[in-house]
Amino acid sequence: MAVHDTDENGRTPLTQKTLESLQETVDFTKHRLFVIDNGSCQATKDMLVCFEDIITKLITLPENIGTAQAINLAWRKRKENEHCVKIDNDVVISQKGWADELEYALLLDPTIGQVGLKRKDCWETPWHENPEHRSILYMLPHVAYQKWVIVEKVKHVIGTCVMHNWRLLDKVGYLWQPGLYGYDDVLMSWRSNLAGMYTCFLSWIEIFHIDPGGDEYCDWKQRHSGQYQKDVSNIVDSYLSHKRSIYYE
């Protein structure tokens, strides 16, 4: 989890609620939590100390190096055959054991590249008029006495909370984005598909996006990511034409 809280954007309470949610719903005897302090304010630094019992490693940076590069610092410490989650610091999950459920989906179908939790503002549905946003409900492989699992196949998994299969990371490397914010999830979904794997949601697990939006920081994120929209389109074209490798180290 990359954290960029400042006195100006006032996101410290959101980060705290996210960590409280993880504390209640994740078994940290089985999972590891890396928090990358991306140049945050003193209030967040003081608050993070209160979660030392669940934070495996706190990586403190003097400035904001961007979401993707910050997450990569943690992913470079992954163990062999260890799946990696990217989670934002403005979400609450009420379902206990959600990380185990994501991991179980990858166990049933190793060809899943990314499996994420679906925010309520996502637009993918099986009946969507636009084929780009039309999803497919798919039952994962099953043998007797296993739990039945249905996933929602989509072209793009929004990056709020996504588990990345270790097999995918071995094939494509690390996250990449052209700026400090945005599109790392879009590009990873393309790279996953081009690597012969698919992306999906576990739609039945509720995730709550708690950022109210409408402030100067949200406006900055929209402006910042918007200036790279054409670049991202060109990057995807270069992936499709094999002019650019899907592997990023």
CA 36 to CA 58: how far, in whole Å? 6
Residue ranges with strand state E in the chain = 2-3, 34-38, 57-61, 84-87, 91-93, 112-116, 136-139, 150-154, 161-164, 198-201, 207-209
pLDDT at 17: 98
Mind listing the pLDDT tens digit for each residue in 53-112?
999 999 999 999 999 999 999 999 999 999 999 999 999 999 999 999 999 999 999 999
Percent residues over pLDDT 90 in the chain? 98
Mind listing the pLDDT tens digit for each residue in 126-138?
999 999 999 999 9
pLDDT at 1: 98
User: Per-residue b/e over 215-235, b at no fewer than 16 CB within 10 Å?
Assistant: eebeeebeeebeebeeebeeb
pLDDT at 26: 98
Question: What global pTM score does this model have?
Answer: 0.96
CA 47 to CA 220: how far, in whole Å? 25
CA 78 to CA 55: how far, in whole Å? 15
CATH number of 2-235: 3.90.550.10
Domain ranges across the chain: 2-235
Mean pLDDT within 171-199: 97
